[in-house]
């Protein structure tokens, strides 16, 4: 389904990937506008549409721009099986927030170890962020979702786990949490996940 929505994106972003997967799962076709979302020197074209200079950002047919990934995903997936009803909705949204929090912590640790000059790196900060990642994985392992009929919590979890594989291949989360690893493998077979692999 075409909808004249434009998604400002970078293919490596797990938050962008989550929005693209939701669009694919519900049958929306998005016009993609590639931007380089530097945390230090954001491009003017991105700042013009999102004052936070973050991706994803989605220009909808009214001309308004929606941002951050939970808002964009809700816009794209509202009224579908991705957003269940009643208590199941709040559980799915809680799991989305948990996965987004894992990604944020992993990103902050990565920024500290790759963008900051080595003499100025703060090891306690990195350890704190990676502690969040470890705690999120523990909770996720007790709330493994359904890869056959995923909700927004499942999609966000799949994006978070794939980001760890991409940026932190040394982590042993697959060995430590085999049920979570099996869930990720099943999700990654879905066409929406296949089509949005980082390049």
The band of 1, judged by pLDDT with boundaries at 50, 70 and 90, is low
The band of 98, judged by pLDDT with boundaries at 50, 70 and 90, is very high
pLDDT, tens digit, 9 for 90 and up, residues 32-70: 999 987 777 888 888 888 888 889 999 999 999 999 999
Phi, psi of 81 (to 5 degrees): -65, -10
Q: What is the pTM of this model?
A: 0.83
pLDDT at site 40 = 79
CATH of 86-194, one of 3.30.1180.20, 1.20.1050.10, 1.10.340.30, 1.20.1740.10: 1.20.1050.10
The band of 30, judged by pLDDT with boundaries at 50, 70 and 90, is very high
Least confident among 2-11, 89-98, 141-150, 163-172: 2-11
Assigned architecture for domain 2-77:
3-Layer(aba) Sandwich (3.40)
Can you give the residue ranges of every domain in the chain?
A: 2-77, 86-194
Distances (CA, A) of 120 to 106, 116, 125, 151: 19, 6, 12, 41
């Amino acid at each position: 389904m075409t909808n004249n929505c434009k998604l400002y994106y970078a293919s490596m972003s797990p938050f962008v990937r989550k929005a693209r997967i939701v669009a694919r799962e519900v049958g929306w076709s998005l016009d993609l506008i590639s931007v380089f979302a530097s945390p230090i020197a954001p491009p003017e074209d991105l700042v013009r549409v999102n004052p936070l200079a973050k991706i994803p950002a989605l220009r909808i047919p009214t001309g308004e721009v929606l941002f951050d990934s939970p808002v964009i995903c809700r816009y794209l997936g509202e009224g579908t099986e991705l957003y269940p009803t009643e208590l199941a909705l709040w559980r799915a949204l809680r799991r989305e927030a948990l996965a987004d929090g894992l990604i944020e912590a992993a990103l902050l640790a990565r920024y500290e170890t790759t963008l900051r000059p080595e003499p100025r790196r703060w090891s306690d900060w990195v350890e704190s962020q990676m502690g969040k990642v470890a705690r999120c994985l523990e909770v996720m392992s007790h709330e493994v979702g359904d890869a056959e009929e995923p909700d927004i919590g499942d999609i966000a979890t799949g994006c978070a786990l794939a980001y760890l594989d991409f940026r932190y291949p040394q982590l042993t989360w697959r060995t430590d949490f085999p049920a979570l690893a099996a869930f990720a493998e099943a999700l990654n077979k879905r066409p929406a996940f296949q089509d949005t692999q980082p390049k």
